[in-house]
Amino acid sequence: MQSAVIVFPGSNCDRDMAVALETVSGQKPHMVWHGDSELPAGLDVIAIPGGFSYGDYLRSGAMASRSSIIKPVIEAAGRGVRILGVCNGFQILTETGLLPGALMRNRDIHFVCRDAELEVSNNATLFTSRYAKNAAISIPVAHHDGNFFADSDILDRLEDEDRVVFRYRSNINGSSRNIAGIINEAGNVLGMMPHPERAIDKKHGGTDGLALFESLLH
Amino acid sequence: MKVRIFITLKDGVLDPQGKAIHHALESLDFAGVNDVRAGKLIELEVDPSVDRDEIDRMCNKLLANTVIENYEIELPQAAREKAS
């Protein structure tokens, strides 16, 4: 599995993401700088990691989603390359328009940093096939702007099309309909606020994130 | 010329920051505040050749996220007169 991790100024989960991808695939991901205007050839997976790209200036993910590497990322998404955006990566994907909605300030204003209990609402995706349907999993979250917002038409559509992939079992940040992760219409772009790459080793305190990366291999 | 862009959350979009500010005002014993909404002001110093349509495109492409935000463009008086 050929993968790449996009690195922005202020990314801070890029190396964790690289470790997770290498752990399951045995292949080192390409680390791609935001200022590049081309991606390496033959990629199967592109990860947009967590962090605080550009210090969250203007809006979380706003500046990163206009950087030069994003154009080839959008083109790759159109060719069916799998794109995984975690935390700031999810914010960036909504800002590019690859995913609908927006991630707003958490309902209670506080930065939320804890393990989040999730439900795998759709295990028939390229990212979740190794989970059982409705599996209860525990994955760390760490964010200030994780409150998923979309208008009710978009929310209805996401639910009707089974595009809500992860839900919080209790609503920790005010997200509409407990949404923690969604997928695009074509099924190859996933955005999620929880950090699966922080739950792939017993030493992390849990390994519930591993199945997501294993799913990418199949 | 100086252009000011006011960015506000759309009606119906919850504003946790506005809520917190409201609570803080109440805890300082200011009475009679019924609601608070927080937004941003962006000031651009632009060439006179930059017209409203161009600024509109800037807002749509970057300055505002129209999923959740509205924006309002304020041109200096002279530019407003020229445009009308």
Place of tokens 């200011």: B30
Reported as a single tens digit per residue, the pLDDT across B11-54 is 989 898 899 999 999 999 999 999 999 999 999 999 999 999 99
CB pairs under 8 A between A and B: 37
- Whether the per-residue pLDDT at B84 is higher than 90: the answer is no
Cα separations in angstroms, A213 against A3, A162, A199, A200, B3: 11, 21, 11, 9, 48
- A34 catalytic? Reply is no
In the set A13, A34, A87, A143, the catalytic residue is: A87
For chain A (length 218 residues), average pLDDT per consecutive 10? 97 98 97 97 97 95 96 98 98 98 94 97 98 97 97 97 98 97 98 98 96 94
Amino acid, res. A126: L
- List all residues of chain B from 21 to 60 with a beta carbon under 8 Å from chain A: none
CATH code 3.30.1280.10 for B2-83: yes
Q: What pLDDT was estimated at residue B14?
A: 86
Whole-structure pTM over 0.80, yes or no? yes
Q: Where are the beta strands (DSSP E) in chain A?
A: 3-7, 30-33, 45-48, 82-86, 102-104, 112-120, 136-143, 147-149, 164-168, 179-183, 189-192
Reported as a single tens digit per residue, the pLDDT across A4-51 is 999 999 999 999 999 999 999 999 999 999 999 999 999 999 999 999
Nearest-CA residue of chain B relative to A145? B16
- A87 catalytic? Reply is yes
How far apart CA A50 and CA A89 sit, in angstroms, is 6
How far apart CA A138 and CA A172 sit, in angstroms, is 13
Cβ within 8 Å, pair A102-B16: no
Nearest-CA residue of chain B relative to A99? B67
Q: Cβ contacts (< 8 Å) between A94 and chain B: which residues? A: 67
Q: What is this model's ipTM?
A: 0.85
How far apart CA A102 and CA A61 sit, in angstroms, is 10
* Number of independent structural domains in chain A: 1
Nearest-CA residue of chain A relative to B39? A58
Find the domain containing A14 and state its range: 3-216
We report the CATH number of the domain holding residue A158 as 3.40.50.880
Contact A217, A134 (CB under 8 A): no
- List all residues of chain B from 9 to 28 with a beta carbon under 8 Å from chain A: 13-14, 16-17, 19-20
Q: What pLDDT was estimated at residue A167?
A: 98
Shortest distance, CA B67 to any CA of chain A (angstroms): 7
